[in-house]
Structure formats: structure tokens, C-alpha cells
Structure 1
Amino acid sequence: MDLQLLASVIVTLFVIMDPPGTVPIFMSLTAQMNAKERNLSALQALVVATGVIVTFAIFGQSILNYMHISLAALQGAGGLLLVLIALQLLTGSTGGEESAAKYTNVAFVPLGTPLMAGPGAIVAVMVFVQRSSTVPQYLAVGVGIAVTLASLYLAMRFAGLVQRALGENGVELVTRIAGLLLSAIAVQMIADAVHSFVKSWM
């Protein structure tokens, strides 16, 4: 297994999906549920997010080929999307609480998607798959996705404990740090895209 790629996938997806930052949103969306219903919602959200991520990981290449989209274009678009998500994390404007009243089953929307399997995570996974060419690399991407999704589920499953352990200020701090790291990842993706475009033109 490609351990360097594995670490890159875990760090990138962990920062994008932000398990600690999901805790307060999950708690607010499931405030009217009992413990059993809350645990079921966490499991349903995990299944939905996994389905969305895996679908784009497997068929992402076909989609790109059909639409004649290059990896550089995908990286550039992904970087711009990540910048928007990073700004939301840095400013705290996730909008999760306002979405609660719009949907009957919050496990599907907005928890499963777009909170867990949002555009940033989808683009990042597609880029990692695009960059992979060997079995160890594909395995690293798969394990990285699984580890991140498991972290999200555990964060929701034990949201009450996590929130009490970190405290309101602790969760806020982790969210802001995640936003800062994500903005750096976004800039790097855009820079790589520009470099690829320039290289192809020369």
C-alpha cells in the first residue's frame, strides 16, 4: 500500500469533511430525536455518503471522458470549491441549522449529502483516483476514504461525548483550524492545475 498517498487522502478528506465540526451541526439537526433515532440517523448518513463517494470514485473517470474534462480542469474547479468550503469553515457559515426544517429525513439531506459527501469531498476523491494507476495506490485511496467515513460516523455516534470533551470553544477552534488547512490545500490544487495547463501549452 502507498502509505504516503494514504496519509494524503486521510488528511485531505478529514479536513474537508471535518468530523469534529460535524458534531454541533449533527446535534442541532437531531435535537428532537432520542438516542436510538440519533444513532440510526448517523448510520443512514454514513450509508448515503459512502454510496455517493464510491459512485463518483468508480464512475468519475467515465464522467470526465464523456464530458471531455481534463484532470487539470478538475483540479482547478476542485480548488475553487474547496476555497468556498474553507471560507465557510473559517467564518462559521455552514448553514446546517437552517436546513433542518427543509427535509423530512435529515440523515439523507443535509447530513449524508452535502454535509458529508459534498462537492469538495467528491472532487477530492475523483482527483485522487485520477492520480492513481497501481493496485497499492487504489487500495490507499479506498482505505483513506473508509477511515475518514468511519471517523465521521464515530463523531456523530458519540457526538454528545465529543461535544462535552471539546467544549463549545474547542469545537469552534478545531473548525477554524480545519478551514485554514483546507484553504492551503485548495491553493495547492489550483497551483497544480495552473502548472499542468502551462506545461501542456509549452
Structure 2
Amino acid sequence: MSSVLDVQLFISVFVTLFVIMDPPGTVPLFLALTGSMTRQQRKRAARQAILVAFGVIVGFALFGQSLLNYLHVSVQALQAAGGLLLLLVAMELLTGKMDSNEGLEGTQGNVALVPLGTPLLAGPGAIVATMVFVQQSSEVTDWVALGLGVVLVHLCLWLSMRFAGAIHRVLKDSGTMLVSRIAGLLLAAIAVQLLADAVLTFAREV
């Protein structure tokens, strides 16, 4: 097994990304963002979000550092931008704008892509962690461990969102609305923390 897969690196990748991307914690946010969708629309949104998140993680793993260097953009700037975007989403959740069915057909794909796929799932933390693991990988066994860890975390994310519909049926519309407000508050706190961490890092580098 160790000749094909670096077990220690696999465990490290899986645990790190699982904690950062937090599959159980995505359930209330997913319900908040898709509460007005039908069951089929929610399944489609979950699938699109996972594909987007996986694509972003893999893309940054392969080309992230080169892209940031080319654009002269620091990881902290990426983190601050993600924090600002999440803060805007949190305000919409808190004010109830996400609850409206108006224009749903035209926006459900956008919700799956942004903010669900990125930066909620594939956020700055997950991107940076993956880029660090890539820098630490040199052997074939390292790459196998990294790839398998990333795939399994995304499988956990998909399962958490796949069964969020059952939770929605239990909570009903009123319960989902309450979850939406709570999720908005938590998301706002996460966004502020991202911004604060980025600003502190900038300040230390000056």
C-alpha cells in the first residue's frame, strides 16, 4: 500500500481539507442558499457546486502559484477578496433576499457556482492548503495521496448536500428560514475573520 500511496500524507490532506471545507457545516449554508429550489434543482445545484469546487481546487493546485505570481497578487489579497464576497452573501441571507423565488430559474446556476462552489467550498483556506501540499509533493505516491484526499473530501461534501433535502423536508419552510438567518450570521462572522486575518498579515509584512 505504501508503495502506491503515502498513507501519512493522505491522512494529512484529508483531515486538513475536511476541517477547512467542513462538510457538516455546509448543510445549513446549502439549505439557506437553495431553500426556495425544488428537489431536482437542489440536486443539480449540489452537483454543480461540487464540480466547481473540485475544478477550482485542482486548478489552483496545478497553476495557482504561477497565476498569483503573474498577476502580482498575494494569497492575502485572495483571502480578503473571498471575505468581501462572503460578506455580501451573508447580508443577503440576513435580509431575506435569498428567500425570494423571483428569478430563480435564471440564478440557480449562479448560486451553485458563486458563492456555493467558490468561495464557500473552495475558499482561500482550502486553496492555500492544497497549494502547500503540492509544494511538498515530489514522488508519485505523494501525488496519489494528494489526489485521493481531495476526491474523498469532495465526496463527503456532495453527500452532506445530497441529504440536505431530507433535512429541508423535516424543517419545512419556516425552519429553513430560521436556518437561513443563522447561517447568514455565521457566514458574516467567517467573512469578517477572513478579512481580519488578511489585514493582519498585510500589516505584519509592512
Q: TM-score, normalised by structure 2?
A: 0.69
Q: Does 1:87 align with 2:91?
A: yes
Name the SS for the 1:18 alignment partner: helix
**Are the aligned partners of 1:129 and 1:138 in contact in 2 as well (CA < 8 Å)?**
no
User: 1:194 aligns to what?
Assistant: 199
User: 2:174 aligns to what?
Assistant: 169
Name the SS for the 1:190 alignment partner: helix
- Measured in 1, the distance between the counterparts of 2:33 and 2:99 equals 12
> Sequence identity of aligned pairs in percent?
30
Superposed CA RMSD: 3.2
Shift of residue 101, structure 1, vs aligned partner: 4.2
Q: Deviations over 1:98-136 (max 9, x none)?
A: 233437xx6xx2454236324444434424434556568
Where structure 1 has 5 or more consecutive residues not aligned to the other structure, the ranges are 31-37
The 5 Å alignment of 1:13-162 reads 14=26, 18-27=29-38, 38=40, 41-60=41-60, 61=64, 62-94=66-98, 97-102=101-106, 109-110=109-110, 112-114=112-114, 116-124=116-124, 125-130=126-131, 132=133, 143-155=152-164, 159=165, 161-162=166-167
- Measured in 1, the distance between the counterparts of 2:173 and 2:152 equals 31
User: 1:35 aligns to what?
Assistant: none
- Measured in 1, the distance between the counterparts of 2:120 and 2:102 equals 20
Q: TM-score, normalised by structure 1?
A: 0.70
* Matched residue type, 2:193: Q
* Matched residue type, 1:26: M
Count of residue correspondences:
181
**Are the aligned partners of 1:90 and 1:180 in contact in 2 as well (CA < 8 Å)?**
yes
- Measured in 2, the distance between the counterparts of 1:187 and 1:11 equals 21
